């Protein structure tokens, strides 16, 4: 087993980036941030097997496919030019979002915690070593629900690049081995319901790199 093949067991945190794709920000009526918009998801939200569980009281659960970056070594106040030295590899992820919870919280000026941090809110693929993805800037992200494509985008459309994000985050939050950084989602997010099946993939010019297939059910 490669180092960090079980990053979900050793990582201490998931640092997620919001509004990192212009078209996604626009579809939700949000302005693009001048600096990265960060939030956390707990490692208890990881889903390795089984189905996504809709949190109690949620009536609008959305899928968001994202490229995740797995940290290899302690990363604190690292420069953008040196940031990739701290990358072990990547993973495909779904940042599941209780959109109704989030909308209510935003309207009240409250944190998004309940919308992003529930159990099963972060399905992830197997670990992909960095040498399999020498350049993460032109990958294709895809997500479908019940066979219907919802999201299709490229990491080349990220507002903030992977090296910039790692450098920026590490100014304030020390990244540790096994931590996962979620880099944002392209446009096309939408609702899922009990019985739905979500499929997602990340690929490069040579083909598919990682894949997720997961069902949705009531908790």
Write the pLDDT tens digit of every residue in 76-107: 999 999 999 999 999 999 999 999 999 999 99
Lowest mean pLDDT among 5-9, 147-151, 208-212: 5-9
Residue 78 lies in a domain: yes
φ, ψ of residue 200 in degrees (nearest 5)? -145, 155
173, with CB counted inside 10 A (0-12, 13-18, 19+), is middle
| CA triple 102-217-39, angle to 5 deg | 30
Query: CA-to-CA distance for 116 and 38, rounded, in angstroms?
Result: 12
Contacts with 133 (C-beta within 8 Å, 6 or more apart), sequence order: 89, 90, 139, 204, 209
pLDDT for 3 beyond 70: no
CA dist., res. 87 & res. 107, Å (int): 37
pLDDT band at 1 (very low <50, low <70, confident <90, very high): very low
Residue-wise pLDDT for 175-201, tens only, equals 999 999 999 999 999 999 999 999 999
Burial 69-83 (b: 16+ CB within 10 A, else e): bbbbeebeebeeeeb
CB atoms near residue 146 (< 10 Å) = 12
pLDDT mean across residues, the chain: 96
Name, in order, each residue with C-beta under 8 angstroms of 68's C-beta and a sequence gap of 6 or more: 90, 91, 92, 93, 124, 180, 181, 182, 183
Q: How far apart are CA 40 and CA 95, in angstroms?
A: 11
- Say if strands 97-98 and 61-63 run parallel, antiparallel, or are unpaired: antiparallel
Q: Tell me how far the alpha carbon of residue 65 is from its chain's centroid.
A: 6
Pairing of strands 122-123, 46-47: parallel
pLDDT at residue number 43: 97
Structurally, how many domains does the chain consist of? 1
* pLDDT of 5: 60
Render pLDDT for 125-175 as a digit per residue (tens, 0 to 9): 999 999 999 999 999 999 999 999 999 999 999 999 999 999 999 999 999
Beta-carbon count within 10 A of 136 CB: 21
Give the mean pLDDT of 4-18: 90
Residue 1 forms part of a structural domain: no
How high is the pLDDT of residue 6?
Answer: 83
Residue 143 has a CB neighbour count (10 Å cut-off) of 25
In a domain, residue 137? The reply is yes
Q: pTM for the complete prediction?
A: 0.96
With respect to residue 76, please indicate whether it lies within any of the assigned structural domains. Answer: yes
Binned at pLDDT 50, 70 and 90, residue 4 comes out as low
Residue 69: per-residue pLDDT: 98
Q: Is residue 174 part of a domain?
A: yes
d(CA 197, CA 118): 19
What is the token pair recorded at 47? 């889903």
In a domain, 82, yes or no: yes
Task: Give the tens place of pLDDT for each residue, 121-135.
Answer: 999 999 999 999 999
The reply to whether 210 falls in a domain is yes
87: domain range? 7-218
CATH of the domain at 162: 3.90.850.10
Q: Is the pLDDT of residue 44 over 90?
A: yes
- Domain annotation covers residue 2: no
């Amino acid at each position: 087993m490669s180092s960090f093949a079980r990053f979900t067991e050793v990582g201490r945190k998931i640092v997620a980036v919001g509004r990192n794709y212009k078209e996604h920000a626009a579809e939700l009526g949000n302005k693009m941030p001048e600096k990265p918009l960060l939030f956390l998801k707990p490692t208890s939200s990881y889903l390795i097997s089984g189905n996504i569980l809709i949190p109690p009281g949620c009536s609008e659960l959305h899928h968001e496919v994202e490229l995740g970056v797995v940290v290899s070594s302690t990363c604190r106040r690292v420069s953008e030019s040196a940031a990739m030295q701290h990358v072990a590899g990547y993973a495909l992820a779904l940042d599941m979002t209780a959109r109704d919870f989030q909308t209510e919280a935003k309207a009240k000026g409250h944190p998004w915690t309940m919308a992003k941090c529930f159990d099963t809110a972060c399905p992830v693929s197997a670990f992909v070593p960095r040498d399999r993805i020498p350049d993460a800037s032109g990958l294709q992200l895809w997500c479908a629900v019940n066979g219907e494509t919802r999201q299709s985008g490229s990491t080349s459309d990220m507002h903030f690049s992977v090296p910039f994000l790692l450098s920026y985050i590490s100014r304030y939050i020390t990244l540790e081995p096994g931590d996962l950084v979620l880099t944002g989602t392209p446009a096309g997010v939408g609702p899922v319901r009990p019985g739905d099946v979500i499929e997602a993939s990340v690929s490069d010019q040579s083909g598919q790199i990682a894949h997720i297939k997961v069902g949705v059910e009531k908790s």
